[in-house]
Structure 1
Amino acid sequence: MEIRIGASWPAALQDPSESRTFKPRSSGLTMVIDKGLGPQAFADMLATSAPFIDFVKIGFGTSPLYPIPLLQEKINSARQADIAVFPGGTLLEAAVRLNVEGKFFETVLDLGFDGVEVSDGTIELSRKKRDQLIREATQLGLRVFTEYGKKATGSRVVLDDLRRTAETDLQCGAELVTVEARESGLGVGLFDESGGCREDELRSLVNKLPFAKNLMWEAPRKNQQVDLLMILGSDANLGNIPPHEAIPLETLRRGLRSDTFALHRSISDYVI
Structure 2
Amino acid sequence: MEVTSQLQWNPVLADPTGVREAKPRTLGKTMVMDKGLGLLAFQDLLHTSGEHIDMIKLGFGTSPLYPLAVLKSKINLAKEHGICIYPGGTFLEVAVQQDAVDSYFDTIMALGFNGVEVSDGTIQMERRLRNELIGKGIAEGLTVVTEYGKKGWGSTIELNELIETVLIDRELGASLVTIEAREAGRGVGIFDEDGNCKDEELQQVLSAISNRILLWEAPMKSQQVHLISMLGPGIHLGNIAPEEVIALEALRRGLRSDTLALGARKE
**RMSD of Structure 2 on Structure 1 (CA):** 1.1
Unaligned runs of 5+ in 2: none
CA contact (8 A) 1:255 1:262 kept: yes
Query: What SS does structure 1 have at the residue aligned with 2:132?
Result: helix
CA contact (8 A) 1:114 1:143 kept: yes
1:107-186 to 2 correspondences below 5 Å: 107-186=107-186
How far apart, in 1, do the equivalents of 2:15 and 2:96 lie? Answer: 44
Query: What SS does structure 2 have at the residue aligned with 1:244?
Result: helix
How far apart, in 1, do the equivalents of 2:104 and 2:264 lie? Answer: 46
Other-structure match for 1:88: 88
How far apart, in 1, do the equivalents of 2:47 and 2:136 lie? Answer: 35
CA contact (8 A) 2:211 2:235 kept: no
1:225-244 to 2 correspondences below 5 Å: 225-244=224-243
The code of the aligned residue for 1:252 comes to: L
Tell whether 2:241 aligns with 1:247: no
How far apart, in 1, do the equivalents of 2:9 and 2:87 lie? Answer: 37
Deviation at 1:4, TM superposition (A): 4.0
How far apart, in 1, do the equivalents of 2:247 and 2:129 lie? Answer: 39
1:1-272 to 2 correspondences below 5 Å: 2-5=1-4, 6-209=6-209, 211-264=210-263, 266-267=265-266
CA contact (8 A) 1:54 1:84 kept: yes
| Runs of 4+ displaced beyond 4 Å | none
Q: Which moved more, 1:198-207 or 1:217-226?
A: 198-207
How far apart, in 2, do the equivalents of 1:265 and 1:155 lie? Answer: 38
Deviations 1:227-269 (A, max 9, x none): 111111100000000000000000000000011112115336x
How far apart, in 1, do the equivalents of 2:57 and 2:33 lie? Answer: 5
TM-score, length of structure 1 as denominator length: 0.95
Deviations 1:38-84 (A, max 9, x none): 01110110011000000000010000000111000000011111111
CA contact (8 A) 1:30 1:239 kept: yes
Deviations 1:82-117 (A, max 9, x none): 111000000000000000000000001000000100
How far apart, in 2, do the equivalents of 1:133 and 1:181 lie? Answer: 22
The aligned length equals 266
Deviation at 1:136, TM superposition (A): 1.1
How far apart, in 2, do the equivalents of 1:158 and 1:260 lie? Answer: 31
Query: What SS does structure 2 have at the residue aligned with 1:216?
Result: strand
Unaligned runs of 5+ in 1: none
The code of the aligned residue for 1:95 comes to: A
How far apart, in 2, do the equivalents of 1:106 and 1:72 lie? Answer: 14
